[in-house]
C-alpha cells in the first residue's frame, strides 16, 4: 500500500492507523499547492480531488476520504481492535464519531487556515468549534478514548484535528479532558512514530 500525505494534514490520521495496525506500506509526500509528489508524480492524475489523504491499496484501488480509509485499514487488522466489527451497533457509533469529526471539527477548522479569512467567517468557525469541543469534552468524561477504553481510528482522527488548534492558536483551555486526551494519544509509540515520519516531532 502507498499513502499519499502532507505533513500535519488530515492524512496524519491514516498514517497513525497504518502504524497502529502493523500494516506494510510506503509513503509519498505531496506538495498540495503544486500538486506534485516528492517522487515527482502529478498528484492530480493520481487523485483528481487534489487533496490528501489518498491510499493506493495492494489490489490497485484508490481510496481518498479519511474516514473510509481508516475503516478499511482497521478491517485489515481486526485483531488490533481499531474498529468494532462491521455490522455491530458499536461500529455505527464509530461511524458517528468519524462523521462528527469530519463535518463538525475538521470543516470548521478549514477556513481558519486561509490567510484572508474574513472576520465574520472566522468568528463563525471559532464559535462552532467552541460548541463542538464542548460536546467532546462532555463525552470524554470517564473515558480514555471516544468510545471507551479502546483506542480506535476515531481517536487517531480527533488527535490529528486537535493538533491544528495549536497551529491556529485556538484556545483549548476550557476543555481539560480534551487536552488530556490529546496528551494521552500523543504519547502512544505509533503516534510518535507517525509524527517523526512526517517531520513533526524530533
Whether 100 and 75 map to the same domain: the answer is no
Q: Is it the case that residue 90 has pLDDT exceeding 80? A: yes
Q: Is it the case that residue 146 has pLDDT exceeding 80? A: yes
pLDDT in tens, 148-200: 999 999 999 999 999 999 999 999 999 999 999 999 999 999 999 999 999 99
Long-range contacts of 25-28 (CB under 8 A, 24+ apart): 25/1, 26/1, 26/2, 27/2, 27/3, 27/197, 28/2, 28/3, 28/4
Whether 95 and 184 map to the same domain: the answer is yes
pLDDT in tens, 25-54: 999 999 999 999 999 999 999 999 999 999
Whether 128 and 73 map to the same domain: the answer is no
Task: Give the bridge partners for 20, in sequence order.
Answer: none
Task: Give the bridge partners for 55, in sequence order.
Answer: 3, 63
Whether 112 and 72 map to the same domain: the answer is no
pLDDT of residue 120: 84
Tell me if 24 is assigned to some domain.
yes
The b/e string for 185-200 (b: 16+ C-beta within 10 A; e otherwise) is beebebbeebbebbee
CA dist 75 and 21 (Å) reads 9
Is residue 61 helix, strand or coil?
A: coil
Q: Is it the case that residue 119 has pLDDT exceeding 90? A: no
Amino acid at each position: 500500500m502507498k499513502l499519499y500525505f502532507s505533513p500535519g494534514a488530515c492524512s496524519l490520521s491514516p498514517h497513525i492507523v497504518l502504524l497502529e495496525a502493523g500494516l506494510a506500506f510506503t509513503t509519498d509526500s505531496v506538495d498540495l499547492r503544486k500538486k506534485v509528489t516528492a517522487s515527482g508524480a502529478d498528484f492530480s492524475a493520481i487523485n483528481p480531488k487534489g487533496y490528501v489523504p489518498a491510499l493506493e491499496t495492494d489490489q490497485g484501488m484508490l481510496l481518498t476520504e479519511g474516514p473510509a480509509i481508516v475503516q478499511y485499514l482497521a478491517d485489515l487488522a481486526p485483531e488490533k481492535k481499531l474498529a468494532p466489527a462491521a455490522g455491530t451497533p458499536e461500529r455505527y457509533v464509530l461511524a458517528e464519531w468519524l462523521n462528527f469529526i469530519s463535518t463538525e471539527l475538521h470543516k470548521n477548522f478549514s477556513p481558519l487556515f486561509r490567510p484572508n479569512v474574513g472576520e465574520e467567517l472566522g468568528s463563525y468557525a471559532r464559535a462552532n468549534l467552541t460548541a463542538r469541543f464542548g460536546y467532546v469534552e462532555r463525552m470524554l468524561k470517564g473515558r480514555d478514548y471516544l468510545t471507551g477504553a479502546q483506542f480506535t481510528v476515531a481517536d487517531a482522527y480527533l488527535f490529528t484535528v486537535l493538533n491544528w488548534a495549536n497551529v491556529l492558536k485556538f484556545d483549548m483551555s476550557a476543555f481539560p479532558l480534551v487536552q488530556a486526551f490529546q496528551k494521552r494519544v500523543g504519547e502512544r509509540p505509533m503516534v510518535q512514530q507517525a509524527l517523526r515520519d512526517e517531520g513533526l516531532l524530533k
